[in-house]
Structure 1
Amino acid sequence: MNPRFPVPPRCNPSRHLLALTIATVLAGATLAPTAWSAEATAIQRFDLKAEPLKLAVERWSQQTGVRVEADARTLAGVTSSPVHGDYSAGDALAALVQGTGLRVVQGPDGFTISGDRATALDKVEVNSSRVGYATERTSSATKTDTPLRDVPQSVTVVGQQLIRDQAMQSMADVVRNIPGFGMAQGEGNRDAPVLRGSPSTADFFVDGLRDDTQYFRDLYNIERVEGLKGPNAMIFGRGGSGGLINRVTKVADFNDGNELSFLAGSWRNLRLTGDTNHAINDRVAFRVTGVYEDSDSYRDGVSIERRGINPTVAFKPGDATRIVLGYEYFDDDRVADRGIPSLAGRPYRTGTSTFYGDPDQSPTGVTIHAFNALVEHRFDNGLELRNSTRVADYDKFYQNVFPGAINAAAGTVAIAAYNNQTDRRNTINQTDLTWVASTGSVQHTLLGGIELARQETDNLRLTGYFTGIGPNVTTFNAPLASPRIALPIEFRQSATDAQNHGIAETKAIYLQDQIEFSPQWSAIVGVRHDSFDVDFTNRRNGVETSASDGLLSPRAGLIYKPAEAVSLYGSYSIAYVPRAGEQLSSLSPTNAAFDPEKFKNLEIGLKWDVMQDLAFTAAAYRLDRTNVVVPDPNDPTLSILVDGQRVEGVELGLAGNLTENWSVMAGYAWQDGTITATQSATVTRGNTLAQVPRHSVSLWNRYDFSPTWGIGLGAIHRSSIYASTDNLVELPGFSRFDGAVYYTISPRLQTQLNIENLFDKRYYPNAHSNTNITPGSPRAVRLSLTAQF
């Protein structure tokens, strides 16, 4: 095991010599030649992306603890080659400068980078060891590979190791580790995050490209999940009002390996995942990930079956070019479960497993075909080109027979039904150019890009009629003692059911400059303009509506670093949600005339790399939502715009390794979300936002007693929340504890036992409305076996 090293001091770019010297944690002394020699020859796992060579060398030195000397003028304007795999330190450094015209020379007390051409060193293969929960860098927040402490924005990354250790299977499992984020019920048919008080089903991205159809996402092909807080329109375009969730996928990366994992758990939870990754030669590699799951639930009549496969192939036609092509087929079929009703302002006290409605007539499913292409090229002058394309077809259907209000006097609960079909076809292309330049002592990382997108959507809603009772009866009053029903239901259009066709086109251009004024001061400034056009057809009445918005989204952030490992920042950003709504399904001649909803975020924060593998973050923010359409109180036939809501909050996070054997992921959020203007008879000024807890805490620890045995222990706490913005029904606060045991049978065979809700706590994690509340799972056990070969 390599000793831990603190982050080295950042060098002044105006100096002619770049001397990156790493000291040991305990002694604080420069490594002696014998020590650095051992470090230089030890095999390590490297994951270094293409970036300005100065930054890449700095990151390499942080990891290896080895000194590098180079003339800063030699490194200026040069971009490194990506390095992924198992290398010695010297081999990795040589690979970084491959194709740059530079040469790595080994000396008696370190390495020197000179202006002569480098010679690539041989790659050495070795099995990687378990990594912790800390993430050093991100490309999503700025579209350039940047250390997290240099991003003036709150970002939480849930990496592969935490996904494995908690045996995560859903986005709801992920977001409980992200301070300020939560997950609503989504009518039992979709992921429905609440992002800093803003509910959304569209603020999902995959590898930086929009993935906005309503469905449940899986994690079988995911390397990590990034939660980016606050408006992100400068990078991602419309939406992203309170934040967004970006999934980074596993792709072919020239590392050989196979993995197969089987999980079995309570209520016949059965799941199989696989991952095979191979380099055919030094120019072509392929990877295939897959999943199959067939599970029941603690809820009566609820089941899930899903399958997915995601092959990718990577090409390196030259040292400066990389091409990655991928296709995903994903199919998810389950029962839409909308939970239980409420009574007297609280969830109705009933059995956790009791289903209200008819699970046999509540199917929901999605089938996705998605093609992705990535082309990256590095020019000799340091200019980098990145082009990403996603073409995706979504076929989504859901039908639900679900509960409404309880009639306590009669001892009944209202049951209703409807279904909805949505077909969406997305074509998205992004082209980014980055260039590292200097103006005197000031360094710039410049980004310019364009995005072209077309989204075509068809949707149809049908209402359920209980024809056995009457031809036009839409509600059945079921006895509370027996709320699961089995009645004939006919689905047909009511007078108000939607049947729409819409085409949304986006043409966007964006510019960004990451400015390094000195080792202590830096900034990010950027602006994006979206030309967003919607053509909308109501097929019920033939009315065609069009809307065009020119969305100008600025972003500015200032960073001060009193020490290399500490950054203080302030940021300002704006995002918009057009009148067609996040799902592009609600445009009408009335609302098309109004300006889009606007979200403005002010944020200050602290990021501190306490140790090389342990990061602490803190952020305080104010997020305002304006341009909300409400009826005019003086004339209900008209509509007006009002300021809608304000969320103020504080977020704390800790991720990484406390010791060599102790990993931790912890988060805390304080949120105060308030309606700032009356919007209806029930949503009045001063009300609290729905499903926004005042306090929420997440904590997960893993401690390895030996290379064979380890344990995990975690806790989730959430204060009470309101089910909706009328504040009539409250879900009580709760604390839940989880645990795990890890056992390594052999270097290539591991098993783990995860226990959710250790003390079998009754709780209610989320809701969709006052009458659709999800009961939390009783104690659940999952046993998994993973083999690498």
Structure 2
Amino acid sequence: MHHPANLHLRPLVALTLLALAPLSHADTTLREVNVQGSAERADGPVTGYRATRSATFTKTDTSLKEIPASVSVIPEALIKDLAMSGMADVLRYVPGTHGAQGEGNRDQVMLRGINTTADFFVDGIRDDMQIFRDLYNLERVEVLKGPGGMAFGRGGAGGVINRVTKKPVFDSVGGVSVSLDSESRLRGSVDVGNRLNDSAAWRLNAMTEDGKSFRDGVELNRYAVNPTVTFLLSPMTSLTLGYEYAHDKRTADRGIPSFNDRPFGTDRSSFFGNADQSESRSTVNSLSAVLDHDFGNGTQLKNSFRATDYDKFYQNVYANGAVTGGGLVRIEAYNNADKRLNVFNQTDLVSKFSLGGFEHTMLVGLELGQQTSTSVRQTGFFGNATFLNVSANSPSATATAFRASGSNANNRVKADTVAAYVQDQITLTPEWKLLAGLRHDHFETRFDDRRTLASPTDLTRTDNAWSPRLGLTWSPTSTTTWYASYSSSFLPSGEQLSLASNTADLKPETAKNYETGIHWDIRPKLTLSAALFRTDRDDVKATDPNNNTRLIRSGQQRTDGMELGLQGEVIPGWDIYAGYAHLDARITKATTVPAGRKIGLVPEDSLSLWNKLALGGGWGAGLGVIYQSEAYTSTNNRVKLPAFTRVDGALYYQFADGKTKLALNLENLFDRKYYPTAHNDNNISVGASRNARLTLSTTF
């Protein structure tokens, strides 16, 4: 597999930020741009904290009130007000989702109790490499809860996360921000653009960030640049080209171990293992091209192409066992190098017409994709041993070498996707609307084992799967819509581009979701949503009781739950974004653990609430609460994360020019010690101590 040479663009990012900042003074003819207004496009208008339309679930421009599913939209206004920078920040405010640790080297999430690293998308295209994703170039983040197989194909058992990027808007766009927090983390970003002429416009987003953490030895350095340009090829045709370069380097922090089935009582800054030898770095090069053509008479064609090259390396020296009664903890080490090339093309044809006395919005689509991946893993050694027991009060260890051992991975995987889908949104009456869709996926995985073995294992797996979706909405009033829906997805053995001899013969797992809910505009700019659902993951792989080297399809995981969301303007000057979820996620049919056990990292109750108040005279204030009930770290149901409540706050000042803003964000106001998530029983994340972040931003 050929990977293009990584471009060393950090100097370019820094120069871009420095060069563009003076434009706020040099070009006073540029008009101020309302950032919320820049999001007022056909694929998702947003006002403040409240979104009203989305294309994530249906792949068509649809009112959120008419979508028979739970879709949470995190808009740019909320991202800025809360000084969010990564996916973990976003997920705190999405009911029914919970961030997972991801071994300190990637975004990982629990969606309705189902753990995933692969169900990430950007502008509707699969973005499934195990990396961290920044928010610097986003218009919003949309989270679909429940299986999304009809729109997104394989995976998506608990839902999907779609990042919607900023595009040229044929108007002047200008914004620069710089922030510094109490851990000496410095961040700068820029968002600029304008029209070149009547038939072309450009936009550039860039970011750089560098700093430390409350955790000993933990550091972060990342930078990115994303230029885009749109050409109007004709009055009915546009072409948008984009390129993104993103580099992320940080300490891979796997937290602390457990002791007596609770997080070990140590200082929250304590690093177990070796921070200097624990590293995660990734480089992403991505090219995109989107062609839109309007045939008139309600028929539109959209072709989206994206090719992305990922280069990922991570290394851990970490705790791999509980603290013993004698006060010792086991330290192990390994590293992994992964490279992947994703090439996807989606073609969507949407047509609106009348037939049989009903109004139809018909979608017909085709997706073609190829993913090529290599993975090489090495074991860390401490002298001649693969582990070291050290004192939990001084938990440092240094690996002396990293080299391949017999069980380490060294493979090349190629996966091809061919999918076709059709969907009809039918207006039965002004009050009743029906959505029906069906997708067929052909997914083939070829696994080439490159380890030095006498008989290396080369495996192939081909799956053909159908993913239906059905939903009905009823709008008895102009402000209220009730819905009921069914959706599904499939999870093949090669879903995350890996096969083994005990999985290659297994048919896909399946996921089904049954849901009913309501969208209610309780005020003109304030929307309440509620959902009751059951999500089943069937045929979960389990060890054969008669042969522990063989897996069989036998288990079931079920999540019964309720979600509430409230977004928008309560009264002029008071904006709110709130969510609550009650989840009962457990094993209902034995897998590798008995039936009845709860799913790890899924608290029964979680609440997030953020308020922003305009105080007058240019001043504003924000107050937020995050609550999470206790949760197990794994399906072993031994180690528990205690319940916690965290309070955040903010102060804002808008200068008289109406363009410059100063914000002070305060995280964990009362310096509460808490443990928000984990990777397993002995890799438990420690919540951040009290932190202050000061941000100065201006538009021009």
TM-score (norm 1): 0.82
Question: Given the alignment of the two structures, is residue 332 of structure 1 paired with residue 243 of structure 2, yes or no?
Answer: no
Residue identity (%):
46
- Equivalent residues in 2 for 1:591-630 (5 A)? 591-630=503-542
Match of residue 87 from structure 1: none
Match of residue 317 from structure 2: 401
Match of residue 26 from structure 2: none
The amino acid of 1:394's aligned partner reads Y
Q: Distance in 2 between matches of 1:637 and 1:415?
A: 27
Offset of residue 131 of structure 1: 4.5
Alignment: residue pair count = 661
3-state secondary structure, aligned to 2:50: coil
Question: Given the alignment of the two structures, is residue 563 of structure 1 paired with residue 474 of structure 2, yes or no?
Answer: no
Match of residue 270 from structure 1: 186
After superposition, the Cα gap between the structure-2 partners of 1:212 and 1:639, relative to the gap in structure 1 and judged at 3 Å, is closer
- Deviations 1:544-596 (CA, angstroms, capped at 9, x unpaired): 11111001000000111111221111100110111014x212x1233211110
The amino acid of 1:706's aligned partner reads G
| Mapped contact 1:565–1:608 kept (Cα < 8 A) | yes
Match of residue 124 from structure 2: 208
Match for 2:665 among 747, 750, 754? 754
Match of residue 258 from structure 2: 342
| Mapped contact 2:72–2:142 kept (Cα < 8 A) | yes
Q: Distance in 2 between matches of 1:714 and 1:590?
A: 47
Q: Distance in 2 between matches of 1:277 and 1:712?
A: 30
Offset of residue 383 of structure 1: 1.5
Match of residue 784 from structure 1: 695
| Mapped contact 2:555–2:590 kept (Cα < 8 A) | no
Offset of residue 611 of structure 1: 2.4
The amino acid of 2:611's aligned partner reads N
| Mapped contact 1:684–1:726 kept (Cα < 8 A) | no
Match for 1:654 among 550, 566, 589? 566
Q: Distance in 1 between matches of 2:156 and 2:617?
A: 42
Question: Given the alignment of the two structures, is residue 577 of structure 1 paired with residue 491 of structure 2, yes or no?
Answer: yes
Offset of residue 407 of structure 1: 4.5
Match of residue 652 from structure 2: 742
| Mapped contact 1:651–1:670 kept (Cα < 8 A) | yes
- Deviations 1:227-254 (CA, angstroms, capped at 9, x unpaired): 1000001001111110010000011111
Question: Given the alignment of the two structures, is residue 665 of structure 1 paired with residue 581 of structure 2, yes or no?
Answer: no
- Deviations 1:592-629 (CA, angstroms, capped at 9, x unpaired): 11110110110001011222311110001101111122
Match of residue 54 from structure 1: none
- Deviations 1:391-440 (CA, angstroms, capped at 9, x unpaired): 00000000010012245333211111000011000000000000001024
Q: Distance in 2 between matches of 1:152 and 1:707?
A: 42
The amino acid of 1:538's aligned partner reads D
Match of residue 210 from structure 2: 294
- Deviations 1:718-765 (CA, angstroms, capped at 9, x unpaired): 000101110110000000000000101231111100000011101000
Match for 1:551 among 465, 470, 477? 465
After superposition, the Cα gap between the structure-2 partners of 1:488 and 1:441, relative to the gap in structure 1 and judged at 3 Å, is closer
Match of residue 422 from structure 2: 511
Match of residue 144 from structure 2: 228
* CA RMSD across the alignment: 1.5
Question: Given the alignment of the two structures, is residue 148 of structure 1 paired with residue 64 of structure 2, yes or no?
Answer: yes
Match of residue 725 from structure 1: 635
- Equivalent residues in 2 for 1:486-565 (5 A)? 487-540=398-451, 541=453, 542-565=456-479
- Equivalent residues in 2 for 1:450-469 (5 A)? 450-467=366-383
Normalized per residue, the structure richer in strand is 2
Match of residue 67 from structure 1: none
- Equivalent residues in 2 for 1:309-328 (5 A)? 309-328=225-244
Match for 2:302 among 379, 386, 397? 386
Match of residue 677 from structure 2: 766
After superposition, the Cα gap between the structure-2 partners of 1:48 and 1:333, relative to the gap in structure 1 and judged at 3 Å, is closer
Question: Given the alignment of the two structures, is residue 133 of structure 1 paired with residue 49 of structure 2, yes or no?
Answer: yes
After superposition, the Cα gap between the structure-2 partners of 1:205 and 1:47, relative to the gap in structure 1 and judged at 3 Å, is closer
| Mapped contact 2:555–2:591 kept (Cα < 8 A) | no
Match for 1:703 among 613, 616, 621? 613
Q: Distance in 1 between matches of 2:228 and 2:115?
A: 33
Match for 1:369 among 271, 285, 289? 285
3-state secondary structure, aligned to 1:163: helix
The amino acid of 1:561's aligned partner reads S
| Mapped contact 2:433–2:474 kept (Cα < 8 A) | yes
3-state secondary structure, aligned to 1:298: coil
- Equivalent residues in 2 for 1:180-259 (5 A)? 180-259=96-175
| Mapped contact 1:755–1:781 kept (Cα < 8 A) | yes
Offset of residue 635 of structure 1: 4.6
Q: Which runs of 5+ in 2 are unaligned?
A: 1-35
3-state secondary structure, aligned to 2:265: coil
Offset of residue 679 of structure 1: 2.3
Q: Distance in 2 between matches of 1:222 and 1:574?
A: 28
| Mapped contact 1:190–1:214 kept (Cα < 8 A) | yes
| Mapped contact 2:168–2:228 kept (Cα < 8 A) | yes
Q: Which runs of 5+ in 1 are unaligned?
A: 1-43, 52-81, 85-129
TM-score (norm 2): 0.93
| Mapped contact 1:132–1:613 kept (Cα < 8 A) | no
3-state secondary structure, aligned to 1:643: strand
